């Protein structure tokens, strides 16, 4: 898996269109002047429009479960545009729509 490394300025949405933001990006590594994101950082999801009839609610938080294997940031795997994530409570993935293109990881 290769791809651009995500940073605080990347556009990431839940599967339903809610905006996702990392809550603890790395303050020590900057990409285009913005903090890079590691697998350890939880994400919050705002304005997810999904309201299922079963009542498990819209996407609220997310975590990346598969990230870079060769690039570490502060000892944690970097999150790539191709990384795999899961939202809670809906179990749907996050979708990285746009990321910086200068730094690529594996």
- Does 19 map to a domain? yes
- Does 14 map to a domain? yes
Q: Which residues contact 97 (CB under 8 A, 6 or more apart)?
A: 10, 11, 12, 13
Range of the domain at 45: 3-98
Structural domains in the chain (count): 1
Does 30 sit behind a cis peptide bond, omega within 30 degrees of 0 on the bond before it? no
Distance CA 104, CA 86 (A): 22
Residue 84: CB atoms within 10 A of its CB come to 13
Residue-wise pLDDT tens digits, 26-49? 999 999 999 999 999 999 999 999
Distance CA 30, CA 88 (A): 28
Structural contact between residues 79 and 38, judged by C-beta atoms closer than 8 angstroms: yes
- Does 104 map to a domain? no
- Does 103 map to a domain? no
> 14 pLDDT exceeds 90?
yes
CATH number assigned to the domain comprising residue 27: 2.60.200
> 54 pLDDT exceeds 80?
no
In the prediction, which pLDDT does 56 show?
Answer: 77
Residue-wise pLDDT tens digits, 64-87? 999 999 999 999 999 999 999 999
Helix-, strand-, coil-residue percentages of the chain, each rounded to 5 = 0, 45, 55
In the prediction, which pLDDT does 26 show?
Answer: 95
Statement: the pTM of the whole predicted model exceeds 0.75: yes
């Amino acid at each position: 898996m290769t791809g651009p490394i995500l940073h605080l300025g990347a556009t990431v949405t839940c599967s339903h269109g809610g905006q996702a933001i990392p809550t603890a990006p790395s303050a020590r590594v900057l990409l285009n002047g913005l903090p890079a994101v590691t697998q350890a950082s939880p994400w919050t999801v705002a304005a997810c429009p999904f309201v299922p009839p079963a009542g498990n609610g819209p996407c609220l938080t997310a975590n990346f479960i598969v990230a870079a294997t060769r690039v570490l940031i502060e000892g944690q795997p970097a999150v790539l545009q191709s990384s795999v994530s899961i939202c809670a409570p809906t179990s749907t993935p996050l979708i990285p729509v746009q990321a910086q293109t200068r730094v690529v990881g594996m």
